[in-house]
Structure 1
Amino acid sequence: MGQHTGAMVKLVLVLGDQLSPELSALREADKTRDVVVMAEVMEEASYVPHHPKKIAFLFAAMRKFAAELRADGWDVRYFTLDEGHTSIVSALLAVAGDTGAAEVLATEPGEWRVISALEDSPVPVHQFPDDRFLCSHTEFDAWAEGRKQLRMEYFYRDMRRKTGLLMDGDQPEGGKWNYDHDNRKPAPDEVTHEGPLQFQADETTGEVLDLVEARFADNFGTLRPFSFATDRAGARAALTHFIDQALPKYGDFQDAMLTDNRFLYHSVISMYINAGLLPWREACDAAEAAYRAGHAPLNAVEGFIRQIIGWREYMLGIYFREGPDYMHRNVLGHTRKLPALYWGADTRMKCMSTAVAATRDEAYAHHIQRLMVTGNFALLAGIDPFEVHEWYLAVYADAYEWVEAPNVIGMSQFADGGIVGSKPYVSGGNYINKMSDHCKTCAYKVKEKAGDDACPFNALYWAFLNRHRERFAKNPRMAQMYRTWDRMDDTHCAEVLERADRFLAKMEQGESV
């Protein structure tokens, strides 16, 4: 399109996780006059060492969305990474200089870091609310006001009422709000689902893969084979595949882990929802329709919908309510460095090596691997929660700070002091043994209580409780575990604590554990 002139031109910024035609900034703009700006910039690609699959997914999806906007009549100025803009603001300044634009329309980013950069932009940026979410910041703050505890369950019930999803009049379908109790079956002997829908790379994606291979070769993570969808049609197909093939058994086995099956019955669509390719409502409506048609049971559909309108929206609310310092909270005073095993160094712990290998190869691990394996270990080992946060932000294709930080800082690491969780999510090896087949082939012995072959999770668990006794002993959900610890023989307790110290010292010295 030709050169734009006149002060009336505005720029419309579209970020890599805002790939939605219904974006508020696009709605506020004039297609006949305003210019859309999209940019692959090194600052966004490298503020943490993102997984190569995550970078490739976003760049390919951005290029395709830009093409869709052009086909819809928008003037789009798109900068590829090789065009050398280091930051989003740099790209905006370049187009403002070109067009004479004196204002930028943007949809509020999901990271305080980017919000701050736009607020400091020499070209004024008007940030509109991201109304692709169900619950606005104002609505969440009104819900939170005056409550002693911000428990997701009560927020979730309000979101069910607001959407009408799985409601029977003003009552929940089936008479209960939450069927989580039915969703804790251990790993099945056989998984009948082949996993998420795989997509072949087209020309656009192929070019991006070559770029990422050349520019991010040293980042942790396997780039190829690459099989994510990179446009809305593909994301919809992935959703349909999940609803048809996996949803009926998703609930039963959503907490289970298998060494040789990375996906079980999980949807693996969170990266599509979080990047804007798949509206949350579409996913929830499809799941509800499957229940109404008798295709999937209530426990599976309720569990799936709760992840989206419960946890996902609650995480957004917590992130924006708590403010930019949230990532630096560390109420337990944990300061240990993130060990090399998170980046693929050898470990004898089968559960950890399995979860990290899946993360490396897929830019994905399901919620129990994240919470009860890699997260649990980090919390028990006393690792600095900010380092843990940056790792999760880097390695998962669905990770953006608004959703990742409350999950890690709050739910996983208890670094926020209990805003998100009423107790820390810690366990010894028995939970992992119950929910997985990892312990059967592990070098460590989950049933052994002492000695160098005993599962490290066991000693670390008791050492964690002992270390934080003052904080947690009166927690009604943890008092029983302290009573168990207090009944143990003093000599045994001393051995357990010494075993934990030896393990952590070895890990800190960089030795394989």
Structure 2
Amino acid sequence: MVRLVLVLGDQLSDNLSALRKCDKAEDIVVMAEVADEASYVKHHPKKIAFLFAAMRKFALRLENDGWQVAYTKLDDPDNAGSITGELLRRAEEHDAAGVVYTEPGEWRLIEALGDMPLKTHSLPDDRFIASHDEFDDWAEGRKQLRMEYFYREMRRKTGLLMDGDEPEGDKWNYDHENRKSAPDAVHYSGPMQFTPDDTVKDVLDLVRERFPSNFGTVDNFWFATDAGQAQRHLTHWIKKALPHFGDYQDAMVTDEPYMYHAIVGLYINAGLLDPLDVCQQVEQAYKDGDAPLNATEGFIRQIIGWREYVRGIYFREGPDYTDNNYLEHDRDLPDVYWGGETKMKCMQQSVAQTRDEAYAHHIQRLMVTGNFALLAGIHPHQVHEWYLAVYADAYEWVEAPNVIGMSQFADGGIIASKPYVSSGNYIDKMSDYCKSCAYKVKDKTGEDACPFNLLYWDFLVRHRNRFKANPRMGQMYATWDRMADEKRDTIRTEAAAWLEKLDAGDPV
């Protein structure tokens, strides 16, 4: 009997386990653009358009390869509105014996598919380097699940940048060489951009019509929407930007949203590029003498280290992970995250490019928008939903550990050994934002003081009982204790007044 083969929007890979398991001569691929997936958070229009266009092209690719594909567009009048609804509809239509699918990357879909009144067969998503069992075996018995040690296991498993049993260059990690401050100029034109073809244009029209109130627009859409285009972009980046990526991967420059970053996360996470193959191409550039070791290692660590690690955490911690709120923060996400008026140049830049491009690089996410949310005490679930909504590369398995764990410390230290908080000094060191900001980063108090300076100390004092014994934070509290009482009182008073303005919706 015929079986249905479910292919989700982030599973656009020829080597998907569900496709390998099934028979193109008999079984039917089901793909669907559904309201549930497009609206469980208010996704950026460019993210929706990217996925729908890539799905349509992948469906055609499968058909050309001999598969029968039952594809449902969002505006199909028979669209059931959900993945499970579409599977039930197609099962009845084709008298299917059941559904074969590759495990989704989000707990809500795993649970929904498991509850269907159809015979289902779930397969592992082996596009990842580490299986759930491998990660759990590594994690078992460890007091701290630090990424660095997991990363070394992934290096050994893949052989990437290995010289026999030892790491290339005799060091595992070259992060200390990847922290140069903002350069005077960026000598890279940015990611390869693709002119929308007819398929993409149809999707852009649909998204404009159906999602007019979502944050961002589809104007100037340039993403790759098939594997061939994604590979062309990767080749372009390796040649033009990889050599400088390591040095400036943490730097931020006004009106330079891409710096030397690869912008391949959305393509890897959707399945258009294979993560191991991407890393092997980057490694080859190093072997050929076209990229330095610090850049090559730094990039590969993000893919086989951090990306694999956060997936392991997400599935190990279970479906309630996003409900964590260790610091008991309860402030609502303020308007500044949706483009509201602000005098903070760093927030204005990071949010504006997020709105325009559905992209910001990791330091803008962690040390600007994330740092601000943590210092201001914003509810971590609201922060989580914002990141999940606004970035084209965001899926819950990768986004939630980065936000709930790394950025907001809401998991109580499962991922991070201390909160990633900083005053304005870090942003000033790593960017040129502060030079043209209305606030003065050198002012610690007063009307023009950088809000990050006030909120930094306020955060530490609010949470002193939690962190005073943390060996990585002792020096911060010692500095606070040496301040004059009057100065400490001024900081707390001005921080409270600033947060009152934020709560009132006043421009900050």
TM-score band, normalised by shorter chain: over 0.9
Tell me which of 471, 495, 501 is aligned to 2:490: 495
The one-character-per-residue Cα deviations of 1:67-100 (angstroms, maximum 9, x if unpaired) are 0000000000000000132100111111111111
- Match status 1:209 vs 2:214: no
- Match status 1:303 vs 2:291: no
Alpha-carbon distance between aligned partners in 2 of 1:341 and 1:384, rounded to the nearest angstrom: 15
Alignment of structure 1 residues 436-447 onto 2, 5 Å = 436-447=431-442
**Contact 1:239/1:269 (8 A) holds in 2:** yes
Name the counterpart of 2:104.
109
Alpha-carbon distance between aligned partners in 2 of 1:396 and 1:301, rounded to the nearest angstrom: 25
**Contact 2:17/2:126 (8 A) holds in 1:** yes
Tell me which of 26, 31, 52 is aligned to 2:19: 26
Tell me which of 214, 222, 232 is aligned to 1:237: 232
The one-character-per-residue Cα deviations of 1:331-377 (angstroms, maximum 9, x if unpaired) are 10000000011000101100000000010000000000000000000
Alignment of structure 1 residues 412-431 onto 2, 5 Å = 412-431=407-426
Unaligned residue ranges in structure 1 (runs of 5+): 1-7
> 1:474 Cα deviation (Å)?
1.3
Amino acid at match of 1:503: W
> 1:222 Cα deviation (Å)?
2.2
Alpha-carbon distance between aligned partners in 1 of 2:111 and 2:179, rounded to the nearest angstrom: 41
Name the counterpart of 1:4.
none
Alpha-carbon distance between aligned partners in 2 of 1:449 and 1:48, rounded to the nearest angstrom: 38
**Contact 1:12/1:104 (8 A) holds in 2:** yes
Name the counterpart of 1:457.
452
- Match status 1:259 vs 2:260: no
Give the SS at the match of 1:82. Answer: coil
Alpha-carbon distance between aligned partners in 1 of 2:119 and 2:394, rounded to the nearest angstrom: 28
Amino acid at match of 1:390: E
**Contact 1:16/1:59 (8 A) holds in 2:** yes
Alignment of structure 1 residues 141-160 onto 2, 5 Å = 141-160=136-155
Name the counterpart of 2:274.
279
Alpha-carbon distance between aligned partners in 2 of 1:509 and 1:124, rounded to the nearest angstrom: 53
- Match status 1:510 vs 2:487: no
**Contact 1:242/1:267 (8 A) holds in 2:** yes
Alpha-carbon distance between aligned partners in 2 of 1:222 and 1:298, rounded to the nearest angstrom: 38
Tell me which of 396, 400, 403 is aligned to 1:405: 400
Tell me which of 20, 33, 37 is aligned to 1:40: 33
Amino acid at match of 1:433: D
Give the SS at the match of 1:106. Answer: strand
Unaligned residue ranges in structure 2 (runs of 5+): none
The one-character-per-residue Cα deviations of 1:379-409 (angstroms, maximum 9, x if unpaired) are 0000000000000000000000000000000
Aligned length, in residue pairs:
506
Name the counterpart of 2:369.
374
Alpha-carbon distance between aligned partners in 1 of 2:321 and 2:233, rounded to the nearest angstrom: 34
**Contact 2:80/2:89 (8 A) holds in 1:** no
**Contact 1:79/1:85 (8 A) holds in 2:** no
Name the counterpart of 2:163.
168
Tell me which of 2, 13, 26 is aligned to 1:9: 2
Alpha-carbon distance between aligned partners in 2 of 1:249 and 1:235, rounded to the nearest angstrom: 21
TM-score by length of 1: 0.98
Alpha-carbon distance between aligned partners in 2 of 1:474 and 1:293, rounded to the nearest angstrom: 48
Name the counterpart of 1:448.
443
Alpha-carbon distance between aligned partners in 2 of 1:225 and 1:146, rounded to the nearest angstrom: 50
Give the SS at the match of 1:78. Answer: strand
Name the counterpart of 1:3.
none
Give the SS at the match of 1:230. Answer: coil
Amino acid at match of 1:78: Y
Amino acid at match of 1:56: A
- Match status 1:79 vs 2:72: yes
- Match status 1:356 vs 2:372: no
Alpha-carbon distance between aligned partners in 1 of 2:73 and 2:174, rounded to the nearest angstrom: 46
Alpha-carbon distance between aligned partners in 1 of 2:393 and 2:299, rounded to the nearest angstrom: 16
Tell me which of 311, 314, 339 is aligned to 1:316: 311
**Contact 1:263/1:366 (8 A) holds in 2:** yes
Alpha-carbon distance between aligned partners in 2 of 1:97 and 1:448, rounded to the nearest angstrom: 68
> 1:124 Cα deviation (Å)?
2.3
Name the counterpart of 2:57.
64
Alpha-carbon distance between aligned partners in 2 of 1:133 and 1:475, rounded to the nearest angstrom: 34
Alpha-carbon distance between aligned partners in 1 of 2:53 and 2:407, rounded to the nearest angstrom: 31
Amino acid at match of 2:23: D
Q: Which moved more, 1:466-475 or 1:158-167?
A: 466-475
Alpha-carbon distance between aligned partners in 1 of 2:457 and 2:307, rounded to the nearest angstrom: 32
> Among the aligned pairs, what percent are the same residue?
68
> 1:298 Cα deviation (Å)?
0.2
Amino acid at match of 1:326: Y
Alpha-carbon distance between aligned partners in 2 of 1:242 and 1:307, rounded to the nearest angstrom: 16
Alpha-carbon distance between aligned partners in 2 of 1:127 and 1:443, rounded to the nearest angstrom: 54
Amino acid at match of 1:75: Q
Name the counterpart of 2:320.
325
> 1:102 Cα deviation (Å)?
2.3
Alpha-carbon distance between aligned partners in 2 of 1:224 and 1:205, rounded to the nearest angstrom: 12
The one-character-per-residue Cα deviations of 1:262-287 (angstroms, maximum 9, x if unpaired) are 11100111000000000001210111
Name the counterpart of 2:46.
53
Name the counterpart of 1:247.
242
Alpha-carbon distance between aligned partners in 1 of 2:330 and 2:449, rounded to the nearest angstrom: 25
> 1:190 Cα deviation (Å)?
1.1
TM-score by length of 2: 0.99
Give the SS at the match of 1:127. Answer: strand
Give the SS at the match of 2:101. Answer: strand
**Contact 1:13/1:107 (8 A) holds in 2:** yes
CA RMSD in angstroms, aligned pairs only: 0.5
Name the counterpart of 2:286.
291
> 1:123 Cα deviation (Å)?
1.6
Name the counterpart of 1:130.
125
Alpha-carbon distance between aligned partners in 2 of 1:453 and 1:137, rounded to the nearest angstrom: 50
Amino acid at match of 1:230: T
